[in-house]
A and B are shown apart, each in its own frame.
Chain A
């Protein structure tokens, strides 16, 4: 865990509302987007993330933060999404939705799980060459669409279309190959 995260978290325990607000503002959009990849509904996803933030404030003393804040938030949202699915009687045994949630997250620098990265890398290797380059720039290096477009000297829309196609292919490959059992 990084020093900054340690400081931030101890500020939360000290009831520092400013720090709480900035964490909310910073993480809320990405976490909602992530949850949408599980739930496919904006309101529900917002509920899930807000409830997590309530818990994070209320039970700060009891939260054992051994991961970075970011990893903690993503893992917690993931668990809450899994609970939501359990209520409507769905299992995500093959982590199809987990992959979807990660792909749905536009930022590229989302919380990354090493085992998943290995799987994604293996799947990426099966894509056509120019797709591989774009996907790597986006998902492994966290580059923005504009930057990728510049590197390849193509329009932003071309990158977007390529990425979309790549995502569809990736999903198929991942779903076929994965019997991933990630942390729980």
Chain B
């Protein structure tokens, strides 16, 4: 069962920043850090804040935009319907989980999840398999360091980050590496041109270890967030089966899972052009906060305005749901927690939820929060979740 929680006083973080920790406090801090990746993230943010001063605040335009978004999805104006609760039609119950605040610190028993004693399902972690051009295979996990040389390039892994550097040989033929992320994994990759890629669970990326002088082209199956190093002379392409995305220098997310009939491309910054490979006349240019959807069979592309944060939150360690069906939500969660999901009744699949959840929580904790809405109940047994 749960061990006693390590609670620290902020003073320890303060002292860490000012390099004045005693040995005992150092131990206390590291115990706290070990409890959850979110703790490390908080510490990093605190250090950055105190070193560089506060970040710019929110201006007038951003405030007005925040208001519009907030009004659209945040609350209901009809006083007779208790908002945040179940709407009239039970099938489409829109529920906002104010998760950060709903759950009291002491874990209550009121939302008990039936599971076998002590059974915990842990979130995903940094893991990947690297396949070199010559076919040799390396297992990259959080604990291992790796340094390889291939075709004049240096390949370095620190267990959660893979980095390419070096001039490369003058070979005409490009050498390719493939990085494969299993269910329950994520990984960060920096390509030879400095482009950064965050890879989500069940994702495969194939890329040259050095790019040619005329174009940069990678192939993606699954989901990844790209921060493309700007180089207007050498365009960057992401191929994902039925579509290709042409980029100059930008940040965007592509979700192209095999089992999903659509490919979604969401732009955070810059500009990209999305082209249907079967119907090249079908293309869309995206500006920030736009998302294109391509129908893999028909090849039609459409685009719409979205809040891009929701689609890239996974990279920041969060799951953000905005009225998605439980079926969609469980698909996403099952990839990260590597579990199987079964629904007792089909209508449960259509219950809709809204919420912002921590990606690194134990799965039971996360389900508890969903269960608190009293819409569904979960049963966990041997990595299989049954929804009643």
Interface of A with B (CB < 8 Å)?
15, 17, 21, 24-25, 28-29, 32-33, 36-37, 39-44, 46-48, 50-51, 53-54, 57-58, 80, 83-94, 96-97, 104, 106, 164, 175
Contact = CB atoms under 8 A, between A and B. Distances in A.
Contacts of A80: 100-101
B66 A28 contact: yes
B70 A53 contact: yes
A90 B7 contact: yes
Interface in B36-84: 36, 38-39, 42, 45-46, 48-49, 53-55, 57-60, 62-64, 66-67, 70-71, 74-75, 77, 79, 82-84
Given A58-B83, A91-B7, A40 B48 contact: yes
Contact of B103 (A15, A87, A88, A97): A87
B100 A51 contact: yes
Interface string B77-107: 1010011100000000000101011010100
28 contacts: A24-B67, A24-B70, A25-B64, A25-B67, A29-B57, A29-B59, A29-B60, A33-B54, A36-B57, A40-B46, A43-B316, A50-B74, A54-B84, A85-B10, A87-B105, A88-B38, A88-B42, A89-B5, A89-B7, A90-B7, A92-B9, A93-B10, A94-B11, A96-B10, A96-B11, A96-B14, A104-B54, A175-B11
Contacts of A88: 36, 38-39, 42
A42 B58 CA distance: 9
A21 B66 CA distance: 11
A17 B77 contact: yes
A36 B53 CA distance: 11
Contacts of A39: 45
A17 B79 CA distance: 12
B257 interface: no
B284 to A, nearest CB: 27
A88 B5 CA distance: 10
A27 to B, nearest CB: 10
A34 B326 CA distance: 35
Interface of B: 5-11, 13-14, 32, 35-36, 38-39, 42, 45-46, 48-49, 53-55, 57-60, 62-64, 66-67, 70-71, 74-75, 77, 79, 82-84, 96, 98, 100-101, 103, 105, 309, 316, 356
A15 B241 CA distance: 51
A175 B55 contact: no
B309 A43 contact: yes
Contacts of A41: 45
B98 A51 contact: yes
Given A51-B98, A90-B10, A25 B42 contact: no
Given A28-B58, A51-B100, 14 more contacts: A17-B77, A21-B67, A24-B63, A25-B64, A29-B62, A39-B45, A50-B70, A54-B75, A58-B83, A85-B10, A87-B103, A88-B36, A94-B11, A106-B57
Nearest to A38: B10
B98 A54 contact: yes
A175 B45 CA distance: 20
Q: Pick from B49, B54, B83, B105 the residue with the most CB of A within 10 Å.
A: B54
A157 to B, nearest CB: 14
Contacts of B62: 29
Contacts of B9: 90-94
Top 10 A-B residue pairs of the complex, sorted by shortest distance between their CB atoms: A40-B45, A33-B57, A29-B58, A40-B49, A89-B7, A92-B10, A86-B105, A104-B54, A54-B75, A51-B98
Q: Pick from B38, B49, B64, B316 the residue with the most CB of A within 10 Å.
A: B49
Contacts of B70: 24, 50, 53
